Structures are given as C-alpha cells and as structure tokens.
Amino acid sequence: MKRYWFLGTMMGLLSVPCRAGRAEGPEVCSERTSNTAIARWIVQLGSNDFWKREQASQQLGHIGEAAVPQLRAALKSPDLEVRYRARDVLHDIHQRLYSQRLALEGHGDVVVSVAVSPDGRYVLSGSNDGTIRLWDLESGKQVRQLHGRHGSIWAVAFAPDGKHALAGGQASGVVLYDLSTGEQVRSFGPHPDAVRAVVFTPDGRRALSACFDGALRLWEVETGKLLREFTGHKDSIICVACSPDGRHALTGGLDNGHRVRLWDLDNGRELRRFGGHDERIMSAAFSPDGRLAVSSGWDATVRLWDVQTGKEVRCLRGHQTHVYCAVFSPSGKYIISGDEHGELFVWDTASGEHLETFEPGHKGHINALALTSRGRRLVSCGGDRTVRIWLAPE
C-alpha cells in the first residue's frame, strides 16, 4: 500500500493549474498532462511491472516542466523505486530546461560584465579587449560595437529606457552611451581609480559607480553631477546593486571584514553590514521584492540575507571554488550562481536546496550573470571570451 501514499499527498497540488506550453519544449497543457494524470504516472513509477515503470518515466519526461512540483514531492516517497526514478526524470527535465541556446563570440579577451535590456531583446557586454558590444539576444548577432576610452571595460548597465547604457572600467571613468548611435553622451568623473561596477536607479535619474578607491558614488544622469560620495570601505569595491524601490544600495569587495554593506541613497548613511563570508565578496543582489539579498564570494559560498535585519537566512554550499556571481530569478523563487570552474548552479530560495547544475558551457570562470525580466533567458560571460545565452527558471 505504500506506493499509493502519493495520490493522497498530491491532492493539495491537484488544484494548481497546468502551465501553458512553450516553444522550447513539450511542456504542453492538456488532459494528458493534468495534475491528476501526473500523479498517476508518478504512482506508476513504483509499479511491479518493469515496462510500466519505464512508460511512466518516459511520459513524465515528455510532460516536462509541468510535472516538476509533483516529482520533487515524490523524492520523499517511502518507495525507493519511486524516489530513484523521480530523481532521474527530474534531472533529465532540468537538463532540458536549463540548457544553452547560444554562444556569442567576438570579444578578443575576457568578458567581465553583461547586462540585459529592459525589454529582453538585447545584451550588452564589456571586455578586457576594451570594447562594449551590443547583441541581439534571440539571434546572437552583434548589433553594434562601442569603444571605451582606454583599457578594459569592467562594468556595463542598461538604462531603464533601454536606449542608453553606462560603461566603466580601467580608464577611471564612467561613460553614458546612446545605443542608437554608439556615441558618448557624457562622462561621470573622473574617478581616482578604476571602476568595477555601475548601476542605474530604477527611475533612471541617478546612477551608482563602485570604485577601486573604496568609494561608492551617486550621480545625476541628466547632468553628470556628483550627488553624493559614500565612504566606509577600506579597500576596493567589487559590486553594487540598487534596491527595487531605488532607496538603498548594496556593496561588497575586498575589505578584510568581508561584509556586504547596505546604504541609504538619500542621506548617505551606512545602515548595516551583513557578516558571514570568509573571503572577498564578488557579487551582491536584491531579490525582486527587495526583502532579501544574495551575495557570493571567494569562500565558495552563496549567502542569503534578510535586508531588514541584516541576519543571514542561510548559506548555500556546493561550489568547490570561488563564486563570482549570484542573481535571483525574476520570480525570486530561484538563485543562480556561477563559479571559477565555469559551473552554473540553480538553488531553491525557500529551502536553499541545490536543484540542478546547468550543462557544461564556459571553459573557465564565469564573471557575471544577467536575467531577462520575462522570457526565461539567462546571460553569462567569462574567461573564455564568450557570452552565452541559456534557458533558465522564472
């Protein structure tokens, strides 16, 4: 009777509507892929008949993403066969869902930074070859090449209007570009040292730059005027993120304390520090609702924080080397992280569980990640001089 525990367990999930299919795969909503049918196929994974077990595995694999919630629940089944087969089917589905779609080649050196346009149509990349490249996300074709002032480009960001972009790097300055012409509109600075990260506020009226001199600077985009300088870091700042409401910023870097800092953009005050990392901090990002933050570092961990209290919610362990980047999915349900060995991990935000590893792609470290706000596309860049487009969780 233990094999039939599952139908009762699944009743809470049966009211969940079947998801619409996508062009990427066979996740099509129909009577055959209803939640009731999925539950029956999962029960059949534990059949005494080998061929019925095989049939159930094949059907669930064909159903795909719509079967994932119930397959995850099946991992707790008391039936060993159900658990093993559910695990294998989940792995196959994840490999199909989290697969590489395109590799964009053209940069002549390491690609350090990427950004995705607000409408999800374009990708911007900055490289140690001194160029900024604009790509069509769907076709992978290069649309335009912009030239920085001098030296490596370590930071790029799209403006909320999608028509302009910021770039910064080794040349100790930040430049605003008109993407329709490729022309420089204005510069922000000079900075006393190289700029490692830039970001716009959500309204596009202000921009932040993180500098190797340890200062965070807030600029007025329309005029290029310096509005405020935030000091407190004792070493280079590597990353900066702006909250969804535009009121706060996160920074992290090479300080010996290895803490993520939260700033108030209106008054310049440092509000709190998030302590837990044992090595330099390489990335920081807000969740879509602004309540959580995620950071990654050289200590091979990804850490989740409560923004309001500064307390660590959980530490995600699984990477075997430096983790250069971590971002939330658009829904906030997942975290994606990339490391020095070129591995991309998918984590469940609520549980901290490592759900899947993307199929191999980059030949070397992954420097940065960006996600489309819709359309399930992940963009990565790295030491192999490529930008790569992936299917990703929402």
Neighbours of 306 (CB within 10 A): 13
Cα–Cα distance measured from residue 382 to residue 124, given in angstroms and rounded to the nearest whole number: 14
Q: Give the model confidence (pLDDT) of 342-354 as tens digits.
A: 999 999 999 999 9
Q: Is the distance from CB of 253 to CB of 230 less than 8 angstroms?
A: no
Cα–Cα distance measured from residue 126 to residue 185, given in angstroms and rounded to the nearest whole number: 18
Tokens for 171? Answer: 């040349």
Tokens for 158? Answer: 């799209």
Structural domains of the chain sorted by starting position, each given as residue range(s) with its CATH number in brackets: 2-97 (no CATH), 101-391 (2.130.10.10)
Closest CA to 181 of 164, 168, 198: 164
Cα–Cα distance measured from residue 212 to residue 193, given in angstroms and rounded to the nearest whole number: 6
Q: Give the model confidence (pLDDT) of 208-245 as tens digits.
A: 999 999 999 999 999 999 999 999 999 999 999 999 99
Cα–Cα distance measured from residue 324 to residue 39, given in angstroms and rounded to the nearest whole number: 39
Cα–Cα distance measured from residue 388 to residue 102, given in angstroms and rounded to the nearest whole number: 6
Written as one letter, the residue type at 182 is G
Non-local CB neighbours of 57 within 8 Å, separated by 6+ positions: 45, 85, 88, 89
**Which H or E element spans position 277?**
none
Tokens for 292? Answer: 């959580």
- How far is C-alpha 3 from the chain's CA centre? 38
Closest CA to 382 of 100, 149, 51: 100
Cα–Cα distance measured from residue 90 to residue 112, given in angstroms and rounded to the nearest whole number: 33
Q: Is the distance from CB of 237 to CB of 220 less than 8 angstroms?
A: no
Neighbours of 346 (CB within 10 A): 21
Query: What pLDDT, on a 0 to 100 scale, did the predictor assign at position 311?
Result: 97
Q: Is the dihedral of CA 129, 133, 137, 140 positive or negative?
A: negative
Query: What pLDDT, on a 0 to 100 scale, did the predictor assign at position 13?
Result: 37
Query: What pLDDT, on a 0 to 100 scale, did the predictor assign at position 3?
Result: 41
Q: Is the distance from CB of 137 to CB of 389 less than 8 angstroms?
A: yes
What are the angstrom distances between the C-alpha of 193 and each of 189, 235, 248?
10, 12, 24
Cα–Cα distance measured from residue 163 to residue 303, given in angstroms and rounded to the nearest whole number: 34
Buried/exposed code over 367-379 (b: 16+ C-beta within 10 A; e: otherwise): bbbbbbeebbbbb
Cα–Cα distance measured from residue 235 to residue 134, given in angstroms and rounded to the nearest whole number: 32
Which residue has 């335009």 as its token pair?
A: 144
Given strand 281-286, what is the order of strands in its sheet? 281-286, 292-297, 301-306, 312-317
Looking at residue 235, the DSSP 8-state letter turns out to be S
Looking at residue 20, the DSSP 8-state letter turns out to be P
> Which regions of the chain are under pLDDT 50?
1-31
Q: Is the distance from CB of 322 to CB of 356 less than 8 angstroms?
A: no
Q: Is the distance from CB of 284 to CB of 294 less than 8 angstroms?
A: yes
